[in-house]
Amino acid sequence: MSQKQTLSFQAEVAQLLHLVTHSLYSNKEIFLRELISNASDACDKLRFEALNDTALYEDSPNLEVRVGFDKEARTLTITDNGIGLSQQEAIDNLGTIAKSGTREFMNRLSGDQKADAQLIGQFGVGFYSGFIVADRIMVESRRAGLPSGEGVRWTSGGAGDFEVEAVERHVRGTSVTLHLREDAADYLSTWKLKSIVGKYSDHISLPILMRKEEWKEGPEGKGGEMALTDEWETVNKASALWTRPRKDISAEQYQDFYKQISHDHEAPLAWSHNRVEGSTEYIQLLYIPAHAPFDLWNREKAAGVKLYVKRVFIMEEAEALLPTYLRFVKGVIDSSDLPLNVSRELLQESRDVRAIREGSTKRVLGMLEEMAKQEKAEGATQEDKEKYGKFYAQFGVVLKEGLGEDAGNRERLAKLLRFASTSPDTVSVSLADYKARMKEGQEAIYYITADTMAAAKNSPQLEVFRKKGIEVLLMPDRVDEWALNYLQDFDGTPMQSVAKGAVDLGKLQDEAEKKATEEAAESFKPVLEKLKEALKDKAQDVRVTSRLVDSPACLVVSDGGMSMQLARMLKQAGQQVPEVKPVLEVNTEHALVKKLESTDRFEDLAHILFDQALLAEGGLPEDPAAYVKRVNALLV
């Protein structure tokens, strides 16, 4: 048996120890996740090597991890019966970063073996996280296949050096004993340790065992306390559902897992479970919920799927793995390529993360497309026909954000959108359906945005479209005005707001109508000039309309200009907005407009026409009191 050796840490290790204990792990309890993960990796490595040498299992073929503690000694011990370490491996792997045992192990593999061993993690940085809570760590280990006299004990206080000595160890594998600092005594608790295991390591495919507790009566009259027994129990589910083949997982198991990770009592509408292989390898298990959470509209709130690396839980809400407009998606992504100590900052910059984000986005859109197909699918159940409608009622507004955020998938998103319309028989219409039933000669998809559905339905701008039986899409959601700026056309057909620019119905407007409008504009020219002068501070222009039938006037903005609705929204959000001057269009056939030619209260009537047009499209007069005064004066 060799004598005790005192060796110095590699310089990088000393730097790492300082980093780990001060900034790398902001959440102290993560040390247990790391040490259990390392223990699990050691068992995975043994399982792999034993494929060619079953003798490595010795007399204990059942692989496991045990977590125990001693309150009096203030120690916490994580033990595995995995591959273990030889003395030289302990020196190399626990004193040097650049020489990781697992990295060397992976380098020895080739061909199909690499794929088979993809879940074997990297034993290295995570070990040192133990110094977050411990002022001394002792590791005792024996490599599988070595005699019991070739065990090794490694100890360090986490400063500049460590000690190594040979010891007798009858069982293979590794025990990591943490001598806890005084401020870490709360980890000497069965309840505390079980809760951490449940949070971070429930999916570990090996059983994680802890000693059972039972009530022990104290001396007569002095009560009692919970005490550890000699019986061990499994405290994790010992199975990562997403790593299992789909054929082995029932719908009920998928739904139960969703409820566990989302804290939702209702089953999801759909899910997709896939193993992606190629330049970036990962597993995705993604769910679409049945209803929106209360904070869905808070874009600043952290949201996203759970991130694992080689089955090790890394992050609760990794928002970098899906775009913001898909923030309602729940699930798990388990990467084979990302480092275990990946941070949110690194996630933003990683090429592998970009590949995962793109792949996962396409997968979610694929799920939605499949749901949408069922709306009209022959033989689909009523429940399946209604699924997409249920989804859209909950998340459609959020999905529209993707038009501006995800140019690469804009066409796919446009096909998934649904809108109300002026068609009396339509509750919800897709752009494809609208286009399929456009009138002969119609050259654009017409829509109107408004603050409310009532304002959209009753807008004066729709009058000529109703008269000619042209369907118009109604868009009352706050996001519509912004999102539609990014959708100039659908499948080659222009998108046209009925409240922007002059109405050009193309082939749908006959020559007689065009001529009548031109003649009205010419004969009404003197009145138009007076209106322009009276409203020069409010209106950019005044012109004769071709869109009104029953109303006296309406407001429109120029093509490409900011709508008054969007300007109001931005102002309400506290943003600086350039002045938006609309165009006032007047209906020369309306009695109120005709009165302009003979009234002695021209200025008052001009302002009333403008303010009423503003009210009709959801705005408020700049001076409500003046508006009321003018109306009252005319009434009297």
pLDDT of residue 30: 78
pLDDT of residue 117: 30
pLDDT of residue 431: 96
Which is higher by pLDDT, 355 or 316? 355
Which is higher by pLDDT, 342 or 245? 245
Compute the average pLDDT of residues 239-259.
86
Phi, psi of 629, deg, nearest 5: -60, -45
pLDDT of residue 49: 85
On the question of pLDDT at 226 being above 60, the answer is yes
Compute the average pLDDT of residues 98-124.
38
Burial class (CB in 10 A: 0-12, 13-18, 19+), 238: middle
Compute the average pLDDT of residues 125-148.
89
Q: What does the pLDDT look like over 156-196, one tens digit per residue?
A: 987 778 899 999 999 999 999 999 999 899 999 999 999 99
Q: What does the pLDDT look like over 595-621, one tens digit per residue?
A: 888 888 899 999 999 999 888 887 888
pLDDT band at 124 (very low <50, low <70, confident <90, very high): very low
The full set of domain ranges for the chain reads 5-234, 241-373, 403-506, 508-635
pLDDT of residue 309: 84
pLDDT of residue 14: 64
Burial class (CB in 10 A: 0-12, 13-18, 19+), 222: exposed
Q: What does the pLDDT look like over 277-312, one tens digit per residue?
A: 988 999 999 999 998 877 776 666 667 788 888 777
pLDDT of residue 508: 66
CA angle 241/247/253 to nearest 5° reads 45
DSSP 557: B
Q: How many CB atoms lie within 10 A of CB 391?
A: 25
**Token digits for 218?**
């104290």
The CA-to-CA distance between both ends of the chain, in Å, stands at: 114
CATH topology assigned to domain 403-506: Rossmann fold (3.40.50)
On the question of pLDDT at 563 being above 80, the answer is no
Q: What does the pLDDT look like over 323-379, one tens digit per residue?
A: 999 999 999 999 988 887 677 777 777 888 899 999 999 999 999 999 999 988 888
pLDDT band at 507 (very low <50, low <70, confident <90, very high): low
Assign domain 5-234 to its CATH architecture: 2-Layer Sandwich (3.30)
The label of the residue with tokens 């945005």 reads 449
Cβ(532)–Cβ(541) under 8 Å?
yes
CATH topology assigned to domain 241-373: Ribosomal Protein S5; domain 2 (3.30.230)
The label of the residue with tokens 């994790």 reads 236
Lowest mean pLDDT among 26-40, 409-423, 567-581: 567-581
Query: What's the CA gap between 427 and 454, in Å, rounded?
Result: 15
Q: How many CB atoms lie within 10 A of CB 316?
A: 12
Cβ(278)–Cβ(292) under 8 Å?
no
pLDDT of residue 472: 94
**Token digits for 401?**
């954000």
pLDDT band at 120 (very low <50, low <70, confident <90, very high): very low
Query: Across the chain, how many H-helices and E-strands are there?
Result: 22, 23
Contacts (Cβ under 8 Å, ≥6 apart) of 117: 44, 48, 106, 109
DSSP 296: T
Compute the average pLDDT of residues 537-566.
83
**Token digits for 558?**
């120029």
Coil, helix or strand at residue 568:
helix
On the question of pLDDT at 504 being above 70, the answer is no
**Token digits for 153?**
């004990």
pLDDT band at 412 (very low <50, low <70, confident <90, very high): very high
pLDDT band at 389 (very low <50, low <70, confident <90, very high): very high
The label of the residue with tokens 């388990």 reads 334
CA distances from 530 to 541, 585, 589 (A): 11, 14, 18
DSSP 64: -
On the question of pLDDT at 149 being above 60, the answer is yes
On the question of pLDDT at 24 being above 50, the answer is no
On the question of pLDDT at 636 being above 90, the answer is no
Question: Nearest-CA neighbor of 183 among 306, 74, 58?
Answer: 74
CA distances from 428 to 293, 303, 480, 483, 494 (A): 23, 29, 15, 18, 20
Lowest mean pLDDT among 301-305, 353-357, 390-394, 447-451: 301-305
* CATH 2.40.50.140 is the classification of domain 508-635: no
Q: How many CB atoms lie within 10 A of CB 116?
A: 12
On the question of pLDDT at 118 being above 70, the answer is no
Compute the average pLDDT of residues 448-473.
89
pLDDT band at 18 (very low <50, low <70, confident <90, very high): low
**Which helix H or strand E contains 419, and what residues bound it?**
strand 418-421
pLDDT of residue 101: 37
DSSP string for 451-484: SSHHHHHT-GGGHHHHHHT---EEE-STTHHHHH
pLDDT of residue 104: 43
pLDDT of residue 69: 96
Equal CATH topology for 241-373 and 403-506:
no
On the question of pLDDT at 509 being above 80, the answer is no
Compute the average pLDDT of residues 442-471.
89
